[in-house]
Amino acid sequence: MEDVSVEFNNSNGMLSFLDDSNPVRAVDGVSLDIAEREIVTLIGESGCGKSTLGKTAIGVQKPTSGSVKYRGQDVWEAKSSGNNASIPFSEIRHALQIIHQDPGSALNPNQRIITSLSLPLKKWNPDMSRERREERIYAMFERVGMTPPGDFLNRYPHQLSGGEKQRAVLVRAMLLNPDLILADEAISALDVSLRVEMMDLMLELQDIFDTSYLFISHDLSNARYIAEKSGGRIAVMYLGEIVEIGGVEEIIENPKHPYTKALRWATPNLFDDRDDGEFPIRKIDVPDPTDLPDGCNFHPRCPEAREVCQREHPNEITTGSDGHLCRCFRADETHEYWNSPELHD
Amino acid sequence: MSVRDEIFEIRNLDVSFELNRGASRVVRDVDLNIHREETLGIVGESGSGKSMLSSSLLNAVVEPGVCSGEVTYYPQDGDPISVLELSESELKRFRWEEVAMVFQGAMSSLNPVMRVRAHFRETLQDHNRDIPAGLERARELLESVYLDPDRVMDAYPHELSGGMKQRALIALSLILEPEVLVMDEPTAALDLLMQRSIVALLDDLQEEHDLTIVFITHDLPLLTKLADRLTVMYAFGIIENGTVDELLYNSSHPYTRALLAATPDLNVPVDEMHAIAGSKPDPVDRIEGCSYHPRCPIADEHCRSSEPPMATVNGTHESACFYHEKAREAVPLRGDSKQEGAVHE
């Protein structure tokens, strides 16, 4: 038992970053830890910085300030210090993988699937024989239900459907046995009816390979599905900041931030969802990210905004159960917000 | 059968493409009525033929696709129009003035080197309308979709966000006061909040302009927020028709039920969501009998050998399944328990 907990502590993939000082702050002072075998889902509107944050997390986007650490090793220090780092950059690079939104453009259209999938193995295991390589790829294809593998692997990308391409891309990322996969809107381009299947597959592979995912989506019901099935967390991003983060139960059933509530409202459900009530935001369009409002970023659209929200920027407030954080004065029962005059348009 | 005012009547519609691998029939023998001033949602997976069906309403199936069958349009007053037999010049008038279409991807529907104003002006000019009066109307339309006409009229498409472009396009489609608005995945690339805003807005526009809306999407949850009636397509044909409540709470085709069960939904426990078994058919393949039988849990010899006709479940609710009475039992759903209350609404 002792071993288990130690291992968990040691391998806690500490990722924390602060990004600052750009004219457009795509990501603004975000701290986030992703544990071993954890799924963190990141949701928010387009342009809120979720992809930038994701890319920063896997070390392809250098933060302007702050740090990104993989198992305690600063990723960018590892890159600049070459072999002196405790974990060499090359190892970090192949431990952190990505799946993009559009599998069509992630596969070379002029190469057979097998060629595209062999490349990463060739690069990282140059000594592996061709037979060994193909054996592994074939085995993975069997596992993700693309059988017979030879049939799929010898085709070109345009001969596969969107769902099949996305599975091929997932296999490619998995071949390197990564510790963390950034799935950036990986299922958004798929039909609604194929999304559950793809997420189930990601969960199945997580079971086998002990991978963590940073799952980016603009769709709350997808985020909830994969996070709840894996006991993960949901982080809600708005204009560069994580405005609320917590367990699935907390975020879905007990959201604290008015923005999370608005997303919850906007998520169309099939069942038990007849009474939709009032539109929970005051303005449809997101403000210009180069000219952020003073005070709380959300206040121009927030239905609950009061005078204090126009001048003061809310910090993270811990609310209730463990790990549930929220950037809204309303989460603090003693805040001056409650005595601040309401805004009138 | 109740007497209703039909605006479109489709009979025996076929759309086929000649491919190297053989003829591919992407719409197969479709009959469909569209009622005046209703919102009809056409739902299906990508490649189910729904876009081709909707394009045929404007005789806009792209070459080398060939349409056959009858598409009859009934104007408010005047003689019925047989859409597939219109000449080039008649079609030009018919499109925009009677039936307007909003395509998926607002990004590519607007000319990148033309200001929004020029789009309106060009459309008015082509249809010999009074331009100053038309532009005045354009400003009103833009305002009704929550856009600032002063800013948007002079903007180039790249200066607008995705949601703004989509709304500008909706305003543009209404400039010649069409009777019918056909929308093909108009919200697919947009955020949840924007999707819901557009849906709310379409509701208002429909009321104000007495529009008939045909809304095509694979996003079933969104459709239930907007549509009066749903048509489900599978493998190039229609397999079920009914009101939203009939399909949600008493769907009687195994495919519709599997589709409902595969849709992520915040109000349904994650363990009740399942992917649909099997994969969708190739348009070149000719499936004997019911097109869904290879994936259907209750298919038998009968389904493999003959094609089920559309059968009335009750009232306006029809299902193309021999065993529509058994579908409920075979694929249980969350909505089942709610059936009594909901259907009698």
DSSP B316-343: TEEE--TTHHHHHHHS--GGGGGHHHHH
Please give the interface size between A and B, counted as residue pairs whose CB atoms are below 8 Å apart. Answer: 123
Does the pLDDT of residue A58 top 70, yes or no? yes
Strand pairing class (B311-314; B99-102):
unpaired
A203's tokens: 């969960």
Last residue of a domain, one of A202, A232, A253: A253
Q: How many angstroms separate the CA atoms of A328 and A257, rounded?
A: 6
Does the pLDDT of residue B271 top 70, yes or no? yes
* Residues in A touching B162 (Cβ below 8 Å): 46
Last residue of a domain, one of A237, A253, A269: A253
Does a structural domain hold residue A127?
no
Does the pLDDT of residue B24 top 90, yes or no? no
- The mean pLDDT of chain B is 86
Residue B211: its pLDDT value, please? 92
Residue B105: its pLDDT value, please? 67
The alpha carbon of residue B251 is apart from the nearest alpha carbon of chain A, in Å, by: 13
Does a structural domain hold residue A164?
no
Does the pLDDT of residue A152 top 70, yes or no? yes
Contact A270 B197 (CB under 8 A): no
Contact B221 A220 (CB under 8 A): no
What's the domain range around A224? 12-109+177-253
Specify whether A236 is located in the same domain as A271. no
pLDDT digits (tens, 9 = 90+) for A153-190: 999 998 888 888 988 999 999 998 899 999 998 888 78
The better pLDDT of the pair B207, B339 is held by: B207
Specify whether A194 is located in the same domain as A313. no
The better pLDDT of the pair A227, A14 is held by: A227
Where residue A275 falls among pLDDT bands split at 50, 70, 90? low
Q: How many angstroms separate the CA atoms of A128 and B203, rounded?
A: 60
Specify whether A208 is located in the same domain as A292. no
How many C-beta neighbours within 10 Å does residue B336 have?
Answer: 15
Contact A197 B192 (CB under 8 A): no
Does the pLDDT of residue B246 top 60, yes or no? yes
Question: Which of A47, A193, A263 lies at the smallest CB-CB distance from B193?
Answer: A263
Where residue A18 falls among pLDDT bands split at 50, 70, 90? very low
Residue B269: its pLDDT value, please? 86
Does the pLDDT of residue A34 top 90, yes or no? no
Select the residue from B50, B196, B253 to test the A interface by mutation, using most A Cβ atoms within 10 A: B196
Where residue A277 falls among pLDDT bands split at 50, 70, 90? low
For tokens 């649909």, name the residue: B276
* Residues in B touching A265 (Cβ below 8 Å): 196
Does the pLDDT of residue B107 top 70, yes or no? no
Low-confidence winner among A235-244, B12-21, B101-110, B256-265 (lowest mean pLDDT)? B101-110
Question: Which of B197, B219, B270 lies at the smallest CB-CB distance from A284?
Answer: B197
Does the pLDDT of residue A10 top 50, yes or no? no
Please state the domain count of chain A: 2
Where residue B4 falls among pLDDT bands split at 50, 70, 90? low
The alpha carbon of residue A99 is apart from the nearest alpha carbon of chain B, in Å, by: 18
- The mean pLDDT of chain A is 82
Residue A3: its pLDDT value, please? 24
Does a structural domain hold residue A83?
yes
Q: Return the bridge partners of B66, or none.
A: B16
B37's tokens: 């001033």
Assess contact for B223 and B41: CB atoms under 8 A: yes
The alpha carbon of residue B6 is apart from the nearest alpha carbon of chain A, in Å, by: 28
B82's tokens: 């047989």
Select the residue from A284, A290, A302 to test the B interface by mutation, using most B Cβ atoms within 10 A: A284
Low-confidence winner among A52-61, A230-239, B2-11 (lowest mean pLDDT)? B2-11
Query: Which has the closest alpha carbon to A202: A180, A220, A235?
Result: A180
Does the pLDDT of residue A317 top 70, yes or no? yes
pLDDT digits (tens, 9 = 90+) for B110-151: 899 999 999 999 999 999 999 999 999 999 999 988 889 999
Q: What is the DSSP letter of A306?
A: B
Does a structural domain hold residue A224?
yes
Residue B179: its pLDDT value, please? 92
Specify whether A283 is located in the same domain as A324. yes
Radius of gyration of chain A (CA): 22
Specify whether A234 is located in the same domain as A267. no
CA distances from B319 to A47, B8, B301 (A): 43, 20, 19
Query: Amino acid identity of B68?
Result: S
Domain B6-227 class, CATH top level: alpha beta
Last residue of a domain, one of A253, A278, A298: A253
Is some CB atom of chain A closer than 8 A to the CB atom of B338? yes
Residue A7: its pLDDT value, please? 27
pLDDT digits (tens, 9 = 90+) for B284-313: 777 888 999 999 888 899 999 999 999 998
Question: Would the ipTM clear 0.85, i.e. be above it?
Answer: no
Question: Which of B146, B221, B270 lies at the smallest CB-CB distance from A269?
Answer: B221
A154: alpha, beta or left? (left if phi > 0; alpha if psi -120 to 50)? alpha
Low-confidence winner among A144-158, A282-296, B130-144 (lowest mean pLDDT)? A282-296
Specify whether A273 is located in the same domain as A202. no
Does a structural domain hold residue A123?
no
How many C-beta neighbours within 10 Å does residue A321 have?
Answer: 11
Where residue A214 falls among pLDDT bands split at 50, 70, 90? very high
Could you tell me the residue ranges of all domains in chain B?
Answer: 6-227, 235-343
Number of separate helices (H) and strands (E) present in chain B: 14, 12
> How far is C-alpha A234 from the geometric centre of its chain's CA atoms?
9
Residue A22: its pLDDT value, please? 41
Query: Amino acid identity of B91?
Result: L
Low-confidence winner among A257-261, B67-71, B189-193 (lowest mean pLDDT)? B189-193
Question: Which of A162, A193, A269 lies at the smallest CB-CB distance from B276?
Answer: A193
Residue B182: its pLDDT value, please? 92
Where residue B8 falls among pLDDT bands split at 50, 70, 90? very high
Does a structural domain hold residue A157?
no
Specify whether A183 is located in the same domain as A60. yes
* Residues in A touching B224 (Cβ below 8 Å): 268, 270
Does a structural domain hold residue A137?
no
The alpha carbon of residue A193 is apart from the nearest alpha carbon of chain B, in Å, by: 5
pLDDT (average), residues A199-205: 91
The better pLDDT of the pair B191, A233 is held by: A233
Question: Which of A45, A200, A221 lies at the smallest CB-CB distance from B265?
Answer: A221
Does a structural domain hold residue A1?
no
Residue A4: its pLDDT value, please? 20
pLDDT (average), residues A128-150: 88
Contact B221 A193 (CB under 8 A): no
Name the H helices within A62-218.
75-81, 89-95, 103-106, 113-124, 130-143, 149-153, 162-174, 192-209
Contact B200 A285 (CB under 8 A): no
Residue B214: its pLDDT value, please? 94
* Residues in B touching A224 (Cβ below 8 Å): 264, 266, 270
The alpha carbon of residue A340 is apart from the nearest alpha carbon of chain B, in Å, by: 28
Does the pLDDT of residue B343 top 50, yes or no? no
Specify whether A181 is located in the same domain as A244. yes
Does the pLDDT of residue A276 top 70, yes or no? no
Where residue A294 falls among pLDDT bands split at 50, 70, 90? confident
Question: Which of B222, B264, B268 lies at the smallest CB-CB distance from A195?
Answer: B264
Specify whether A200 is located in the same domain as A320. no
Low-confidence winner among A16-20, A254-258, B23-27, B110-114 (lowest mean pLDDT)? A16-20
Low-confidence winner among A162-171, A261-270, A313-322 (lowest mean pLDDT)? A313-322
Question: Which of A193, A225, A262 lies at the smallest CB-CB distance from B270?
Answer: A225
Specify whether A97 is located in the same domain as A219. yes
Contact A45 B273 (CB under 8 A): no
pLDDT (average), residues A246-255: 90
Does the pLDDT of residue A5 top 50, yes or no? no
Does the pLDDT of residue B200 top 50, yes or no? yes
Specify whether A64 is located in the same domain as A85. yes
pLDDT (average), residues A26-55: 85
Specify whether A85 is located in the same domain as A217. yes
Is some CB atom of chain A closer than 8 A to the CB atom of B188? no
